[in-house]
Amino acid sequence: MNVKMAGIDYANAAIDKREVFAFTPAQAEAAMREIILKYGAKGCVIISTCNRTELWLSEESKCDTDLVDALCALKNVSRSEYESFFVVRKNDEAFLHLCQTACGMKSQILGEDQILTQVKKALELARSVNTADTVLEKLFQTAVTSAKKIKTQVRLTSYNASAATMALAKIQEVYPTLKGIKTLIVGNGEMGRMVAEKLVALGASVKVTLRKYKNGVYIMPEGCAAIDYSRRYEEVREAGLVISVTSSPHYTLRYDDVVQATAGKPNKLFVDLAVPRDIDPTVADLANINLIDMDSLGILPEDELNQKALAQAEQIIKKYMTEFRKWYKFRAFVPVINDITSVTAEKIYGNIKKELAELDLTEIERNLFEEKLSCVAEKAISGLLFGIKDSVQEEQWGECFTNLGKVVK
């Protein structure tokens, strides 16, 4: 196996470092294509979330791409400035990390649900640009499956864990009651809608921005009013609570414009749930602004962790890791299986060719019948051969297929 990843996340890097390596979906598409072309990798997937960016590669055994170099080159930054913030993992260590990440065990908020969707979307994006090879496809699918199993069988923490919930808890430290609080949410993505729904349920008066130049159907949370993005500073002037959560590579709320919009106004709470950050961090210097960003959400204290649940999750991951390793090792026998299947199907057809010729069939009917027969035979034989993976000890696979090959030939 030659699978590896390099990642930068909240555990090792503050948001000002993480945001340098954030990718929008369009940027990730271009980057994955570039990695495949430049380094000759067989597969590439990029995970980019608020708390982490990870570059995943599947390579030939003779290749050894420097992933930190590759990421720094993609972002046109100096390796020496950022390499200490990265962690590089290979093979089993990398797969274990992916499984733990997908189920929320490595999230800033333990057990949060959004990361599973983000891992799935990362694979889907790579698949859409044909950079997810068979190995990464299986690796990510197995990690997602293990995470789903953990989600249904294990409660990692008694805390209702999600970034939206944690942000709401921070907001309520400032506004214990949100009833009637004028709120502006910049961004109508999944997270923006989630936060909007929670705030509306608590009685806040919520407005959400939309951009004119985008086309398509928007899902506006019930109880929210839509405003054009260009009018956001007008709304900042009146709102007591301002939240920004977009995938924009630029600030959605700039310092000078915020100064002008909030001059002479009472204290306001700004919440930035984006990476890269949406709100110019120097806004925090303003006397009437309290700014919260992703790093302010914090990690659940250690006594909140359910050690028994974590041990159960690890056992589930261990099972899926074993399955993946078995699948990977068995791949080496696929060409042999295909050869045996083809030869055996031909022999089956040869044994009944005379009987087929005696049937009262048109040429078209005979061709269709032969095609169907070959297909059924190959599927049946292939199914039996692949069943060997689960019915024969791994160390006996080689001898088993060697002997089968001799018999059919």
Exposure pattern of 275-292 as b/e (b: 16+ CB <10 Å)? bbbbbbeebeebeebebb
Candidate list 44, 50, 99, 224, residue with the active-site label: 50
> How many other CB atoms are found less than 10 A from the CB of residue 314?
16
Edge-to-edge order in the sheet of strand 3-9: 43-48, 52-58, 3-9, 87-90
Polymer length in residues for the chain: 409
> How many other CB atoms are found less than 10 A from the CB of residue 81?
11
> How many other CB atoms are found less than 10 A from the CB of residue 128?
12
**Residue 252: helix, strand or coil by DSSP?**
coil
For residue 374, the one-letter residue type is: S
Annotated catalytic residue 50: yes
Cα–Cα dist 62/374, whole Å? 39
**What's 313's DSSP letter?**
H
Residue with tokens 């506006």: 220
Please, are residues 232 and 208 in contact by the beta-carbon 8 Å criterion? no
Please, are residues 266 and 237 in contact by the beta-carbon 8 Å criterion? no
> How many other CB atoms are found less than 10 A from the CB of residue 370?
15
How far apart, in Å, do the first and last CA atoms of the chain sit? 31
Cα–Cα dist 207/262, whole Å? 18
CA-derived radius of gyration, the chain: 27
207 sits in which H/E element: strand 205-210
Residue with tokens 């990695």: 35
Residues identified as active-site: 50
